[in-house]
């Protein structure tokens, strides 16, 4: 029935205030205690699993926690540590700066410290996609040169006035790990792209050489490359020419990393549809232009997560320089174990090293997961 109403009596059907939220239907969401019970003890199988997990935790966690925290010694001497019986974090406190700078001359430590700060700033900038431009790449190369110059006091053999030269034998700690991994990546990246393109080249000799490099390097353990760099490469040099030990290890590492990066890039290249190559051809672009403007930007973008994963692997592999006696972070820390005042705290040292590597790698892997989502919004369901 439509009764005519006077305009001033018009009824408004718009809510003037927020209505109370509706509760979800009872059948969908059981009360929290019941839901928890169902999740953990719903079936006999689940109950057994839950109990087993709790038993494992109860068995391992309390002893570990009492060792690592309750009975731990945070500051003090080795004797106090032994008396307390728990973990000796005082040892890590004592050796912390040594593990960062290694044997670098004490009064010159401001130089590696500056390098660390510059590096941290560059990393922080590079994670922001706002700064993902060509200039960032140039900036990285400039910064790497500055870092190298600041550490050693010379760039490509040219001494920098005002900086006392410091031989690479005195480099150590975090700095060497950073140099090995970051220089390794920076140099392996372009070489890896060339190898990946070479492997897909139509020219048989280019292809054969690329395949040989990639398969040989991937087929042997990194240790053999480090051995080659340490014992055989000096034989290849003309008499009287000597390459620094750290640089030789660095080159071995670059050669190694390039082969692995090449396989990542190859995956990206294979994922580019044929139409993209044909489109580039029909535009009249030559090979270099087609690669630079059409193919590589796509291939590199889709492989960013794989690149980060490979980099994490390479970063962990830098520890292998221990075997040829180069003082990276881990080797430096292990050398601290030989301090006769602090014998017997290996477990603490390894846990500290594990913690540092874990933080670095886990951050990178989370970052790569986020990037994967950000870069492929269409894939996220």
Partner 1 sequence: MSTIETPPATKTAFWNDPVKRGLALQTVLVVFVLVVVWAAWNNMSANMVARGLIFGWDYLDRPANFAIGEGLIPFAPTDSYGRAVIVGLLNTLRVAVVGIILATLLGVALGVMRLSSNPLLARLVSGYVEVVRNTPLLLQLFLWYAIINTLPGPRQALPLGPGMFLSNRGMKVPWVEWSPALWPVIWALVAGIIGAFIAARALRRRREAAGDAPPTLPIAAALIIGLPFLALAAQGFPATLSVPVLQGFNFTGGIELSPEFVALLLGLVLYTAAFIAEIVRGGIVSVYKGQWEAARALGLPAPRIMRLVILPQALRVIIPPLTSQYLNLTKNSSLAVAIGYPDLVHVSNTTMNQTGRAVEVILVFALVYLTISLLTSAFMNWYNGRVAIRER
Could you list the residues that contact partner 1 (CB under 8 A)?
A: 39-40, 46, 49-50, 53-54, 56-57, 202-206, 209, 215-216, 218-224, 227-228, 231-232, 234-239, 312, 316-317, 319-320, 322-323, 330, 334, 346-347, 350-351, 353-354, 357-358, 361-362, 365
Nearer to partner 1 by C-beta: 222 or 294? 222
Return the beta strands (E) in 61-142 as ranges. Answer: none
Question: In terms of CB distance, is 150 or 321 closer to partner 1?
Answer: 321
* Contact between residue 186 and residue 141 where contact means Cβ atoms under 8 Å apart: yes
Contact present, 328 and 315 (Cβ < 8 Å): no
CA angle, residues 34, 35, 40, in degrees to nearest 5: 100
What values do phi and psi take at 155, rounded to 5?
-120, 125
Q: Are 88 and 72 in contact (CB under 8 A)?
A: yes
* CB 338 to partner 1: min, Å: 14
Task: Give min distance, CB of 10 to partner 1, in A.
Answer: 53
Tell me how far the alpha carbon of residue 251 is from its chain's centroid. Answer: 19
Min separation Cβ 227 and partner 1, Å: 5
Output the smallest distance, CB 346 to partner 1, in A: 4
CB atoms closer than 10 angstroms to residue 270:
10
Q: Which helix (H) or strand (E) holds 209?
A: helix 204-219
Residue closer to partner 1 by CB (options 40, 96) is 40
Closer to partner 1 by CB, 127 or 319: give it. Answer: 319
Shortest Å, Cβ 50 to partner 1: 6
**Residue entry with tokens 């009975």:** 71
Residue 369 CB: number of other CB atoms within 10 A? 13
Judged by CB, which is closer to partner 1: 167, or 221?
221
Q: Whose Cβ is closer to partner 1: residue 35's or residue 117's?
A: 35
E strand or H helix that includes residue 155 = strand 154-155
Separation CA 211–CA 199 (nearest Å): 6
How many angstroms separate the CA atoms of 299 and 108, rounded? 44
- Please tell me whether residue 319 adopts helix, strand or coil conformation: helix
Closest approach of partner 1 to the CB of residue 183, in Å: 18
Comparing CB distances to partner 1, the nearer of 69 and 355 is 355
d(CA 357, CA 241): 36
Contact (CB, 8 A) for 371 and 305:
yes
Question: Are 145 and 155 spatial neighbours (Cβ–Cβ below 8 Å)?
Answer: yes
For partner 1, the closer CB: 54 or 121:
54
């Amino acid at each position: 029935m439509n009764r005519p109403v006077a305009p001033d009596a018009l009824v408004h059907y718009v809510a003037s205030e927020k209505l109370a939220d509706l509760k979800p239907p009872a059948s969908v969401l059981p009360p929290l205690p019941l839901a928890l019970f169902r999740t953990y003890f719903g079936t006999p199988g689940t109950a057994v699993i839950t109990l087993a997990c709790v038993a494992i935790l109860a068995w391992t966690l309390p002893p570990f926690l009492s060792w690592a925290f309750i009975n731990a010694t945070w500051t003090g001497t080795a004797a106090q540590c032994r008396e307390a019986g728990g973990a000796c974090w005082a040892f890590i406190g004592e050796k912390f700066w040594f593990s960062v700078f290694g044997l670098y001359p004490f009064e010159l430590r401001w130089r590696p410290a500056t390098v660390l700060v510059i590096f941290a700033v560059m990393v922080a900038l590079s994670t922001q996609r706002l700064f993902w431009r060509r200039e960032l790449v140039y900036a990285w190369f400039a910064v790497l040169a500055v870092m190298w110059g600041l550490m050693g006091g010379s760039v490509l053999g040219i001494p920098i006035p005002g900086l006392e030269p410091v031989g690479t034998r005195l480099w150590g700690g975090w700095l060497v790990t950073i140099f090995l991994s970051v220089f390794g990546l920076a140099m392996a990246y372009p070489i890896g792209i060339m190898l990946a393109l070479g492997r897909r080249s139509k020219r048989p000799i280019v292809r054969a050489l690329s395949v040989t490099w990639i398969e040989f390097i991937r087929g042997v353990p990194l240790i053999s490359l480090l051995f080659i760099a340490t014992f055989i490469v000096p034989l290849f040099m003309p008499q009287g020419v000597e390459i620094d030990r750290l640089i030789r290890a660095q080159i071995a590492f670059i050669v190694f990393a390039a082969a692995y990066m090449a396989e990542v890039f190859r995956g990206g290249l294979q994922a580019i549809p044929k139409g993209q190559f044909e489109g580039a051809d029909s535009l009249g672009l030559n090979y270099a232009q087609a690669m630079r403007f059409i193919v590589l930007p796509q291939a590199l973008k889709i492989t960013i997560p794989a690149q980060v994963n490979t980099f994490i692997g390479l970063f962990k592999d830098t520890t292998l320089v221990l075997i040829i006696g180069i003082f990276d972070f881990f080797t430096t820390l292990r050398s601290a174990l030989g301090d006769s005042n602090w014998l017997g705290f290996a477990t603490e040292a390894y846990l500290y090293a594990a913690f540092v590597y874990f933080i670095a790698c886990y951050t990178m892997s989370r970052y790569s997961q986020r990037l994967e989502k950000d870069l492929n919004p269409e894939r996220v369901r």
